[in-house]
Structure formats: structure tokens, C-alpha cells
Structure 1
Amino acid sequence: MSDSSSKSTERPVVYAVVASTFFVGFGGGVVFPILPNLGEVLGISAFLVGVILSANRWTRLVANGPAGVLVDRIGTRKPFVAGLAIEGLATFGYVIAIESAMPEGWFIVARVMWGIGSALVFATAYTITADVSEASSRGTSMGIVRAGITFGFPAGMVLGGIVSEVYSNVAAFVLAASFAGLASIIAYFIVPETHVESVDSSISPWDFETTLPALTVGLVNFGLYFAYIGVLFSTLVLYLEVESLTLSLEFAGYGIDYGEQGTSGLLMAVSALSGAVFTISGGKISDAAGARMPVLLAFLATSCAGFVVLTVAPSFGAVVVACALIGAGQGGVGGPLTALLADLTPEERMGRAMGTNNIFGDVGGGLGPLISLPFANAVGYDVLYALSAIVPLLAGVVLVAGIYSYTGSLSPTVEESVV
């Protein structure tokens, strides 16, 4: 895409992608405050709850690669719209699950559908952004898109936590499904094709990106999602219950007492909103500095600090600070990390590179609940969170080693990174 064309279309396209991913993100967040607690109500074991929570990520593990290849083969628009529509149907599947005599089966089906849809959405959203952005503004644009996804997620968590307590779990799922449907409508009428002009049948369905930059960024993504989604979000509601930490508010003489679901939803929202803010600022700082590495390492250290604070809890204030720090670290890494991947990847292979990156992230996010829930029951949450604090540090080591090996520099400038 030419410079003039790119500059004239970048922001409108980015904002259209943001709107779509924001609304569909409700369905991704609504399940987290509700489902872990439903394990006891519906008689679902902790392990099976972990399977349900991680089913979408294990599905994406298989779907991410082909989704990225599909983007490079047929373009971004059709997979993007289709992915949003599938996620909307999956969100409505939660309604069927909660009313079913076999809720665990329906929840798994819905989460598998969500995995297929989100594989298409994530592969296309970032590829669209890479296509229309310049290197000098790529970090900001990637941050804005990631923030849109991230803002939808906490909105869903607040929705799931509060609406489920005030009304019902079904009401929360129906509302989330309605917003997901709106997302696909927005995408259909606004988001254009940005990636290919015609179908390229020469691209193999299994032609994944296995270059050193893609593998390095993917491993960092693995660690972040393992600690953030796989550990923090999967265990927070149960941690609050064990430590008897819930929120009580009084306004105009009226008291509001939130249970573990409502409190965890608000805390997850604090974390995700913090992440969204720093996703935008992290990308913008990396653009202004002309280098991604210093920003990435600073935010990896922030994530580590958040888990350290969470380890020395319990107090409600400490948990709030910990969630905000972990969210800031996760978010601050997001924009510069995807921008770095785009800097180091040829445009015609960006779909495949994003597919590879998403595979690693989903392995981390999928493996996390399977390990963290039984692990916390066996040895306690303090040990779990202390070990999780090490993960961002290891990710930093991998990042420095991989980028230095590929570029010969510990902190390459944006101009040096662009291929």
C-alpha cells in the first residue's frame, strides 16, 4: 500500500476494527466471573471448569495457523466478518448451556466455537492494522486495536459479574450475545479489504511462519497469557472466596455488597482497563522512542511486580494494586510486541506471523487454567502467584536473546527492524 493511501485510510480502518472487536469482546469476558463459581452450583469439577475455560484456546491452537494462512491467501475482510459472527453464535451458546441438562457439554461446544471465531478475528484484526499503518505509527495503531479488544473484555467481566448477581446468569449471556451480533454488523458494513487483491491459491494451508522473530515474539506471548489469563483470571474468583475478600459500597445511605463473582468481575475489569490504557501508551512510547525493546522490558518488569504484590496479600487494597500492575504490564507489552512482529515480518506473510503468535498465546492461556486451578487447590494461592511472578522475567530473557540473535542489537531502532 502506498504511503499516501496508507496515511489516508489508517485511522478510519483502525477505528472500525476497534469498534467491532470491542463489542464482540463482551462474550469473551462475561464467562470468567460466572463460570468458575458455577462449578459448585452445577456440580462441575474444578478440572472440568478449567477444561471449559481453556477450550477456546486449545481450539485456537489448531485454528490459528490455518486462519493466518487463510488471511494471506484470500484477504482479511471475509474471515474478519465470519469470525465475529461465529463468536456471536458462541456467546448465545452460553444461554443454551445454562438452561441445559448437560451444561458442561454445551459450554464446551460454545467455547470451541468461540475459539474458531476468535482465531479468525485475531489473525485479521492485527493484519489489517499492519497493512494500513506506517512503521512510525505502527505501535500506536497496534495499541489502539489491542485496547479495543481489551476494553471489550473488562466490559464483559463487569457485565458477567454484576448483571448475573442483580438479574441472572442467563440475562448476562443474552446481553453479551446481542452486542456480539452488533459487532459483526459493524464489520460487514465498514471494514474494507486491505490485504490481497485476489486469491493466491499457491499458499499452502499449513505454511506457518517459523522465523526467529515469529518464534521469539510467540514465546513471550506464551508467558504473558499463561500468567495473565491462565493464572490470574482463572483463579481470582476462588482466591477471593478463600481469603473472604469482597467489596462493599455505600452510596446515599444505600449499601451494596458484592459477592465473589461481582468483586472478581470488577477486579478483572480494573486489570483489563489498566491494560487497555497502557496498551495505547506503550505503543505510542515505542513509536516516539523509535525502539520497542526498552518499553517491552519495562512493562514485563511491571507484570512481575504485580504478581509479587499479589503474593504478599491478602488485603483488598493490595489485590486492587496487584491487578492494576499485572494489567498494565500485560497491556504495555501488547502494542509494542505486535508492532515489533510486524516490523520484522514481510507484509505478505503477516497473516501467517500473527497465526504463529496467536498459537503460542493460546497454548499459554489454555495450559494455565489446567495447571493453576488444581495447583492452587494443592499448594495454595501464595505459591502459585509467587511462581507466576517469574514468568515475565523469563519472557524478557527470551525476548532479548531472540532479538539480539536476529538483529545483532540489544535494542534495534524501528528503522533497523523494518523488513
Structure 2
Amino acid sequence: MKAFNTFDAELRSNLLVLFTAGLLFWSSLSSLLPTLPLYIDHVGANNQEIGIVMGSFAIGLLLSRPMLGRLADERGRKIVLLIGTIVAAIAPFGYLATQSLGLLILVRIFHGISVAAFTTGYSALIADLAPAETRGEIIGYMSLTTPLGLAIGPALGGYLEATSGYGILFLLSAELGFCALLGIVQVNNPPVQTQEQTQGENHNFWQTLSSPQVRVPTIVMLLVGLSVGAVHTFVSLFLKSTEVDFNGGLFFTVAAISSFSIRVFAGKASDRLGRGLFITFGIFCYVLGLILLWQAHSAIVFLLAAIVEGAGGGTLISMMITMMADRSLPQERGKIFAICIAGLDLGIAIAAPLLGTIAELVGYRDMFGYGAVMTSLALVIFLTQSSKNLSNSLRFALGRAPDAYSLNNLKVRSEEF
């Protein structure tokens, strides 16, 4: 962590508080990962209904991200971080208050706003603070909040659900969200970087999305979202149906440890080897993880699937954020992040009801097989479309060429946004 030694004391303190708040936020959210599908099953829902309730989380993300991205660019990153933690502190009380599927869907949509706000503000703020030459390293270290939270939260949530019931579980989730809010309040809000508005500069969502440096990563994230949604929504239920002696909370904890382990060096290595190689590796891991789940008949295979899935998340998402930071100016970064990550949100939203329907027809096992096929398409697209032509795309995706769309590699900023 040599890069942190170059920062002044105030900046290091700011990053430490931000890291702690991020850890609390993800612990709050992930405490419900292995338990909420079981709670929805407990109140009488079938597989398709469980998928709809869980997938409605992404509706809140999708509807709020564009607005929150603009807000982060125009009013600063801290305000959207505050929104995210406030929602995280309130939403668990909604689960506690109702067992109606309709109301649970509304609570789940509301809860989705928390992730849209927090991830947009957090990613943009870290990208602003990190020097370009060590951006991968800094984002890699600061993104460790996610796997650490995903290691702590499911373990806590699974334990409380088994020993104390759902009421205590939801109260814990709310308390962790509130503690994250207290941390964000202490973050020093950096000045908002602005640029002169011109008639041509105020591009809408579709104009921004149409540019190749944004469109291709967004499509890749959408397809990967199918994998993420399938795993997060149905792994606990799949384990229950197979009667394999492997706890759903343990699956997410192992995945989080794997994600943590690979992030420690992947970010720094990407500053030397480029982002493309690690994005390719991350997508491949997601595909392999789904294949392992498709073929899983024992605890050891579920363990391997968790390790591989965690490695995919540990490289792909942080490296995609770093790549989009390389490709954007600070004053447009919130919007660019919001659009790209909205692809992941949409994939998750589609995955739960779509793959839930497939699970009703063919079972959980074959559902993961279908998910592997869909996610494989993301790998093909990135290998062939990530740069300005097929040759450059392959070389960039395999770590043999720099990113043609990175601002560091462009002498003149083109007016594509």
C-alpha cells in the first residue's frame, strides 16, 4: 500500500472513514443475501415469486441510477453516499413490518436505491482521489469493502436467522446501515468539479450509451448481471434442494474471501498490465462458476464454485470501474459510472424472474447451465468489441495492448459524450 504513503494525513483519514463506512454498508446489505430468499419462501412464495421479489431490488437501482449519477456530478459525491446509507438504515424495517409479497416487492425496490446511491458515489469519489498512475491499486484496495462486507454479513445473517429469527436479523441490518451513515457524515466532501455547459455537452442517456467506450462495457455488465443474479438469488435454495451439507451463508463467505484475496494484487497489477486482461479473467471466472454449480453434487464442488465466483467478482467489477474511470473526465464520471453499472443492475433484474421461471421448468441445476451460456456471450463480446477493431480488442482483452479509449492514451479528447 505504498501509494497511500504519498497522501497527506487528511486524505488518508478521509479514505479510512470512507473504507469503514463501506464495510458497514456492505455488511448490512449482505446479511440478507442468504436469508431473504429463505424468508420469502417462509411466507409462502414459489420459486418464480421469490425471483420476482429478489429481482425487484434491481428495479430501484435502475430507476434511480441516472438521477443519482447526475446528482453526484452536479452536487458532489457525499450527498449520494448519504442517500445510500439512509436507505440502507430504513429498508430492513420494511421487511420486518410485512409478509405480503406485494409490499415486499415495494420494500425491495426501495432498498435497491441504497446500492445505486452508495456504489455510484463511492466509486466516483475514489476515482477522483486516486492519481491516474496508481488508480488501479487505490480502487483495488478501497473496493475491498465489498468482499469483506460480503464475508461478514452472510455469516452474521445466517447465524442470526438460525438462532434468533428474522426479527433480530432485520434489526441488525438496519443498525449496520445506520452506523455506515454516521461514518459518511464525517467524510469531507471534495469540491464539485464543473465544466462550462454548452448546447452540445448536455447529452442524454442514449447519446452517452451509444458511444462504444460506454456501450460495450455496459452490455458486458448486463450479461454478467445474469450470473450475479442467478447466484445471489438461487444458491441458498439450490443447496437446500440438493441436501448437500454446505450452508448458503458459507458459500457467500468463501466467495468473499476469494474476492478479497485476488483484489489485493489485481488492482496494482492492472496499473502495469492493463485492465483488459483482468476483465477477461473475471468474466471467465463467472462462466466457470456457473458451470461448476451446474455440475455440483458435493460440498467440495460447491466450495470450488464459491472460490471461482468470488475471484470473478473480485477482478471484474473493480477493474471495470477502473477502466471507466480511465475513460471519463471527473465532471462526467458519476454519469458514466451510473450508466455502466446500470447494465449490471438490469442483468440482475432480468436474472431473478427469467431464471426463476427456467428453474420452475427444468430445476435449479439446469438453470445454472443456461446462465453459463448467457454469460459466455459477455466473454465473446469483450474479446471482440472492447476496442476500436477486432485485432485491437483481442490484444487489449488479453493484456497485449493499452486501452484505446483511455484518456491517458488520447492526445485530444473527442466529443463523443
TM-score range, shorter chain: 0.7 to 0.9
Q: 1:362-405: CA deviations, max 9, x gaps?
A: 00111111112221221123322222223443222222333222
The separation in 1 between residues aligned to 2:193 and 2:329, in whole angstroms, is 14
Cα pair distance change 1:205/1:118, threshold 3 Å: farther
Query: What does the per-residue CA deviation read over 1:6-41, in whole Å, with 9 as the maximum and x for residues that have no partner?
Result: 944665444333221221113322222222223342
5+ residue gaps in structure 1?
Answer: 248-262
**Is the Cα contact below 8 Å between 1:46 and 1:374 reproduced in 2?**
yes
Q: Aligned partners of 1:213, 1:191: CA distance in 2, in Å? A: 31
* One-letter amino acid of the counterpart of residue 273, structure 1: I
**C-alpha offsets along residues 57-108 of structure 1, whole Å, 9 cap, x if unaligned?**
11211111111111111111122112211221112322223xxxx4324422
Does 2:154 correspond to 1:157? yes
Partners of 2:255 and 2:306 within 8 A in 1: yes
Partners of 1:341 and 1:36 in 2: CA distance = 33
Aligned to 1:418: 407
Equivalent position to 2:301, from 310, 318, 333 = 318
Q: CA deviation at 1:319?
A: 0.5
1:48 is displaced (CA, Å) by 2.4
1:183 aligned residue: 180
Contact 1:218 1:360 in 2 (8 A): yes
- Which of 273, 278, 291 is the aligned partner of 2:257? 273
* DSSP-derived class of the 1:223 partner: helix
- The match for 1:374 is 357
Deviation string 1:202-250 (CA, Å, 9 cap, x unpaired) is 986955632211222112211222102x111211112112211124xxx
Choose 358-367 or 212-221, whichever is displaced more. Answer: 212-221
Q: Which shifted more, 187-196 or 6-15?
A: 6-15
Alpha-carbon offset, residue 298 of structure 1: 2.3
Note the alpha carbon deviations across 1:270-289, whole angstroms, 9 max, x for none.
Answer: 11231233234322221132
Q: Are residues 223 and 146 of structure 1, via their aligned partners in 2, closer, same or farther at CA, if it must alter by over 3 Å?
A: farther
Q: 1:406 and 1:415, CA in 2 relative to 1: closer, same or farther beyond 3 A?
A: closer
- Kindly indicate whether the alpha-carbon contact (under 8 Å) linking 2:195 and 2:331 is maintained by their aligned counterparts in 1: no
Q: Distance in 2 between matches of 1:305 and 1:244?
A: 23
SS in 1 for 2:144: helix
Task: Give, as a single letter, the amino acid of the residue that structure 1 aligns with 2:234.
Answer: T
In structure 2, give the amino acid aligned to 1:271. Answer: A
The range that moved more, 109-118 or 206-215, is 206-215
C-alpha distance 205-63 of structure 1, shift in aligned 2 (>3 A): farther
For residues 194 and 364 of structure 1, do their structure 2 counterparts lie closer, same or farther at Cα, with a shift above 3 Å needed? farther
Amino acid in the other structure paired with 1:36: P
Would you say the 8 A contact 1:84–1:183 is kept in 2?
Answer: yes
Alpha carbons of 1:188 and 1:205: their partners in 2 closer, same or farther (altered >3 Å)? farther
Match 2:272 to one of 277, 280, 288: 288
| Cα contact 1:124–1:351 (8 A) shared by 2 | yes
Tell which deviates more after alignment, 39-48 or 217-226: 39-48
| Alignment partner, residue 227 of structure 1 | 227
Aligned to 2:21: 20
Look up the SS of the partner of 1:33 in the other structure: coil
Match of 2:314 among 323, 331, 347: 331
> Secondary structure of the equivalent of 1:136?
helix
2:298 partner amino acid? S
Letter in 1 for 2:257: L
Distance in 1, matches of 2:58 and 2:17, equals: 25
Indicate yes or no: 2:371 matched with 1:388: yes
What amino acid sits opposite 1:142 in the alignment? I
Corresponding position of 2:414: none
Contact 1:16–1:191 under 8 Å retained in 2: no
CA distance in 2 between counterparts of 1:177 and 1:200 reads 40
1:237 match:
236
What is the deviation of 1:339?
Answer: 0.7
CA separation of 1:394 and 1:407: change in aligned 2, threshold 3 A: closer
Instruction: Label 1:348 to 1:400 Cα distance change in 2 as closer, same or farther (>3 A).
Output: farther
SS in 2 for 1:405: coil
Counterpart amino acid of residue 91 in structure 1: P
Distance 1:201 1:65 in 2: 20
**Alignment-derived partner of residue 213 in structure 1:** 213
Question: CA contact under 8 A between 2:193 and 2:330: conserved in structure 1?
Answer: no
CA RMSD in angstroms, aligned pairs only? 2.8
Distance (Å, rounded) in 2 between the aligned partners of 1:160 and 1:14: 27
Counterpart of 1:53 in structure 2: which amino acid? M
Give me the whole-angstrom Cα distance separating, in 2, the residues matched to 1:326 and 1:34: 19
Aligned to 2:78: 77
**Counterpart secondary structure, 1:404:** coil
Quickly say closer, same or farther: Cα 1:334–1:281, change in 2 above 3 A. farther
Alignment partner of 1:402 is 2:399: no
Structure 1 residue matching 2:340: 3-state secondary structure = helix
- The whole-number CA distance in structure 1 between the counterparts of 2:159 and 2:196 is 46
Alpha-carbon separation, structure 2, partners of 1:47 and 1:115: 19
Give the Å deviation of 1:408: 7.5
- Indicate how the Cα distance of structure 1 residues 373 and 90 shifts in structure 2: closer, same or farther if over 3 A, else same: same
Q: CA contact under 8 A between 1:74 and 1:198: conserved in structure 2?
A: no
> Post-superposition shift, 1:315?
0.3
Match of 1:41 in 2: 42
- In terms of mean alpha carbon deviation, does 103-112 or 64-73 score higher? 103-112
Q: Which one of the candidate residues 286, 291, 299 is aligned to 1:303? A: 286
Distance 1:207 1:329, change over 3 A: closer
Equivalent residues of 1:63, 1:119 under 8 A apart: yes
Measure, in 2, the Cα distance between the counterparts of 1:415 and 1:13.
33
Task: Name structure 2 gaps, 5 residues minimum.
Answer: 409-417
**Is this contact kept in 2: 1:38–1:44, CA < 8 A?**
no
47 and 60 in structure 1: CA distance in 2 versus 1, 3 angstrom threshold: same
Aligned position for 2:31 = 30
SS in 2 for 1:227: helix
Q: Aligned to 1:239, what secondary structure does the other structure show?
A: helix
